[in-house]
Chains A and B, each alone.
Chain A
Amino acid sequence: MIAALGCRSFSVGSDNHFNHMNMNKYLLFFCLLAGISVQAQLKPEDVKTFTLKNGMKFLVVEDNSIPNANMYLFYRVGSRNEHQGITGLSHFFEHMMFNGAKKYGPKEFDRTMEFNGGANNAYTTENVTVYTDWFPTSAMETIFDLEGDRIASLSIDPKMVESERGVVLSERSTGLENSPWNLLTQSVQAQAFQEHPYHWPVIGYEDDMKNWKQTDLEQYFKTYYAPNNCVVVIAGSVKLDDVKKLAEKYIEPIPEQPAPPAVKIVEPEQTGERRIMVRKDVATPYINIAYHVPESRNEDYYALSLLSDILSSGKSSRLYSSLVDQKQLATNINTSYDNSFDPTLFNFYVVSNKDVKEADIENTIYEELEKIKKEGVNDRELQKVKNQRLIQFYNQVETINGKADNLGTYEVFFGDYKKMFDAPSLYNKVTADDIKRVAIKYLIKSGRTVGILKENTNE
């Protein structure tokens, strides 16, 4: 569900914050893979943890490579916690978290942070809302003060609600204006999930966006923005003791709340292929094919992740090679299998070449899948995707942000940051037969949803 992210801001200043977001998908596991030694920063014992009396858990990594640090706050709330009438509220709330609390009023959060050399952003998915602060270490106490203030006593000013509503409506509109993918993936997701809240887009329905009420926001804050519903990761040139003292001072007094209600809806099994067409003025069709697959904690997660890489990672991958290079049916092919709490989608995204029948594209993909189901994959292919993930891992742990993001992701989606260190053996265990098995088990016709966006939907 690549198009499902909502983000507070982008391209303000020199960084493109979309890079920060998209970076975070993959994993730390490959450190032990292929017997390659792990850097000092990555030993499990280098991750220090403590939990405050109110239930907020902290992960801390001391890394002095630059005189900076970060704070990543992962709240377990996203669009899956919404219902019709308040769709998009998680993302809107993410915006409202910057609009004033008791000590630091409207605008003061950003002004204070930036005055102290810090910058921030935030993003929302179906599953989580993540707040990211980047700052010179000397500003850490201010950052704690700011975060503590808004978690303890956010003040929802009706005037700010109205101007911020305009901001998210503009965010929705500019996404649709500049890319056909938002429209297509939202449509496919809505077909693939008919009952589960993954049905609606993270950004929300336009009419819901125009009608959220003050009380909706207040209720949301109370229910989900409790310290016990949040994991905090801090990485950088910090000392554990300092972090602990500040956490005790600024965060511990904030009371714990009852656990939020569980999401109980389970999507019923899909028993037949679903197809959807969407019209937009585009040069060539865009295609999104989605299969139902399990959530991140499922044991098949690892084999499915590697299957995705084998299909589309790099120019020698199966689908790039056949669809784009040899048959020239498409100009772009991508697959994705993202982290989630509930069963999710394994997606194929294709941009059609000129004068090509969409059916030829679909059939080429299905033929490649059949080949894997019958003949499996070869050892070199499997080794290749493992090697690629090793480099991805290096790129991530090269920065303090990559470290914070991955540790938080593991803690939240896999239940324990330590799972990050088990992952290498779980990946090593994946065999060619496993890849074949998960392809047979999940990538089945009756469970797929096919979406096509094109100019002429009458033909």
Chain B
Amino acid sequence: MKGSKYIIAALFCLIGVGIFAQDYKLPAYQKFTLKNGLTVFLMEQHEVPKIDVSVILPAGAIYDGEKAGLASLTAVALKHGTKNYPKQKLDEELDFIGATVNSFAGKESASLFADCASKDKDKLLDIVSELLTSPVFDTAEFSKEKKRTLLRLEQAKESPRSVIGSYFDKFLYGDHVYGNIISGTISSVSNLTPADVQQFYKTNYIPNGAAISIVGDFNSKDMKATVTKLFSNWKQGKQQGSELASKPVTKPTGNRVLLINKDDAKETTFYIGAPGINRNNPDFVAIEVVNTLFGGRFTSMLNDALRVNSGLTYGASSRWSPLKNAGSVYITTFTAGKTTEAAIDTALNVINRLHTAGVDEQSLASARNYVKGQFPPRYETSGQLAGLLTQMFWYKLDDSYINNFQKNVDGLTVAKAKEIIAKYFPKDNLQFILVGKSADIKKIAEKYGPVTEVQITEEPKKAF
């Protein structure tokens, strides 16, 4: 009977919706700004007796100028101590209460993450505020840190996976500040001085443009008073060079290959990349869903073709790396040297298939379910929530990113997915980054575009 068929169809729809009816909503939090411009987020979470702190600062590698690696070294050097907490005392006190404080620089911003048992929150916040507002940058510690950094840069060249990302950014962004290498290079870091770090700190570690979020087991009223007291004396500043990141990125006009020769390589590790999107792109969620199908999960087209069907690799995926003003997208995988050509061709076939065959309702439904089903565990812990709040601040996202996430996922139709693929998923002007043994794979590399060859042992060029 016609009627009952419809009823069954309707029932299936209901079940389909019902499965994910428990929408994940951002827990309540308060947000305020101190007089010096520091934005503060407080979110109470009482499940476990600890607190998590996340700080984001406009102090990433885009401000390095000619001194590649300076932002990174400055962020790490915050932990070299303050007047009240010289390094040894700092390490000892943090270790004793089982607290952690980590600071590091990224491409655009610097971050500090800290956590401790809630009974020690006053101690931890006191330390965090001193590290951020009055670090001493001890010269002896600086020289030790620099030596360790230089050795790590040398060691990174032993692992293709550790260096390929920096080469890709340089190749894609050219001399735009988004091409800056976060870790720096051996020659650039060799030239850094304690005075450089002092200066970088003074210019870029400023409360206006920064945010702190505290999530965990505390009382918001008391916490507001504590934070206001600890951070209000942090002096405002005016940053130089913040306009550099908004300069337009020159887009590639054809396929190009960067071949990084590693003489003892047995594998070829490669990216196939292109320009991507800004983080605040309104289609961000739709792109995430389509990417899930393309290269974002185990059964994705890429992993299916390169791993499951052919055994060419242990894993293949596609990733988006969005920034404030630009972004990148790339396929990443690796394969034995002798199967380099098969792996690259297979990846290119998958790109082609995405554009010609597109996605069908069944696979899109699967991707929507998957993205929604795996969403709540992303924001399960206080640390995850603290990180989310500072990210939302940084990219100017409002609560709707979280609260409408499932709705936005559900809103993606096959027709819309088709538009998303055509608009955002690259199919030409591809940038190939290959780390492997040039003697064996150079001929293959030439198939895909004009080849620039460099040695992994030498310094990366300023731009390619």
Contact = CB atoms under 8 A, between A and B. Distances in A.
Contacts of B336: 169-170, 173
B190 interface: no
B95 A384 contact: yes
Contacts of B317: 11-13
Contact of B366 (A39, A111, A174, A180): A111
A10 B332 CA distance: 12
B373 A314 contact: no
A9 B380 CA distance: 23
A313 B336 CA distance: 37
B280 interface: no
A139 B115 CA distance: 34
Given A39-B48, A139-B19, A399-B380, A387 B159 contact: no
A390 B24 contact: no
Contacts of B366: 111, 114-115
A331 B381 CA distance: 31
B374 interface: yes
B142 to A, nearest CB: 13
Contacts of B157: 283
Contacts of B154: 283
B160 A178 contact: yes
A21 B383 CA distance: 19
A136 interface: yes
A13 B296 contact: yes
A173 B267 contact: yes
Nearest to A37: B49
Interface in B296-355: 296-300, 303-304, 307-317, 334-336
Contacts of B300: 12
B95 A315 contact: yes
B158 A12 contact: no
B87 to A, nearest CB: 8
Contact of B98 (A13, A136, A387): A387
A282 B267 contact: no
A391 B22 CA distance: 31
Contacts of A120: 298
B82 interface: no
Interface in A305-328: 313-317, 324-325, 328
Contacts, number: 217
A262 to B, nearest CB: 33
Contacts of B269: 177
B376 interface: yes
A241 interface: no
Nearest to B373: A117
B20 A394 contact: no
Interface in B34-68: 47-50
B147 A328 contact: yes
Contact of B264 (A66, A281, A316): A281
B151 interface: yes
Interface in A164-215: 164-171, 173-174, 176-180
A167 B98 contact: no
A400 B380 contact: yes
Contact of B47 (A39, A116, A316, A391): A39
A268 B144 CA distance: 44
A179 B373 contact: no
B244 interface: no
A68 B373 contact: yes
Given A68-B373, A136-B19, A391 B311 contact: no
A431 interface: no
Given A13-B297, A14-B296, A36-B49, A391 B117 contact: yes
Contacts of A353: 147-148, 151
Contacts of A394: 48-50, 117
B370 A114 contact: yes
Interface in B369-396: 369-370, 372-374, 376-378, 380-383
A428 interface: no
Contact of A174 (B24, B296, B314, B365): B314
A170 B98 contact: no
Interface string A96-120: 0000000000010011001111111
A11 B313 CA distance: 13
A363 interface: no
B28 to A, nearest CB: 15
B96 A383 contact: yes
A100 B150 CA distance: 49
A156 to B, nearest CB: 16
A166 B312 contact: yes
A380 interface: yes
Contacts of A164: 311
Interface in B96-141: 96-100, 115-117
B3 interface: no
A325 B314 contact: no
A334 interface: no
B381 A315 contact: no
Contact of A390 (B98, B144, B161, B296): B98
Interface in B204-240: none
Contact of B311 (A67, A167, A173, A174): A167
Given A134-B374, A314-B95, A177 B147 contact: no
Listed residue (B48, B148, B310, B381) with the most chain A CB atoms within 10 angstroms of its CB = B48
A110 B298 contact: yes
A242 interface: no
B20 A117 contact: yes
B461 interface: no
Contacts of A12: 296-298, 300, 303, 315-317
Given A119-B370, A394-B50, A166 B310 contact: yes
Contacts of A11: 315, 317
B310 A163 contact: yes
A66 B151 CA distance: 43
A273 B71 CA distance: 46
B356 interface: no
A230 B299 CA distance: 27
B298 A178 contact: no
Contacts of A429: none
B241 interface: no
B377 A66 contact: yes
A311 B335 CA distance: 39
A121 B50 CA distance: 29
A173 B297 contact: no
Nearest to B295: A12
Nearest to B117: A391
A331 B313 contact: no
Interface string A386-409: 011111101101111100000000
Contact of A162 (B92, B116, B311): B311
Given A12-B297, A65-B47, A138-B20, A119 B308 contact: no
Interface in A272-317: 281-284, 313-317
Given A12-B303, A12-B315, A114-B298, 19 more contacts: A9-B298, A12-B296, A115-B369, A115-B370, A116-B19, A117-B369, A119-B298, A136-B376, A162-B311, A170-B311, A170-B314, A170-B334, A174-B314, A177-B266, A178-B161, A283-B157, A284-B155, A324-B148, A384-B95
Interface of B: 18-20, 22, 24, 47-50, 88, 91-92, 94-100, 115-117, 144, 147-148, 151-152, 154-155, 157-162, 264-267, 269, 292, 296-300, 303-304, 307-317, 334-336, 365-366, 369-370, 372-374, 376-378, 380-383
Interface of A: 9-14, 36, 39, 65-68, 107, 110-111, 114-120, 134-136, 138-139, 162-171, 173-174, 176-180, 281-284, 313-317, 324-325, 328, 331, 351, 353-354, 380, 383-384, 387-392, 394-395, 397-401
14 contacts: A12-B298, A12-B303, A13-B298, A67-B376, A114-B369, A166-B310, A173-B336, A174-B334, A177-B266, A178-B160, A316-B91, A394-B117, A397-B48, A398-B47
Closest 5 CB pairs of A and B: A117-B373, A166-B311, A314-B95, A391-B98, A163-B311
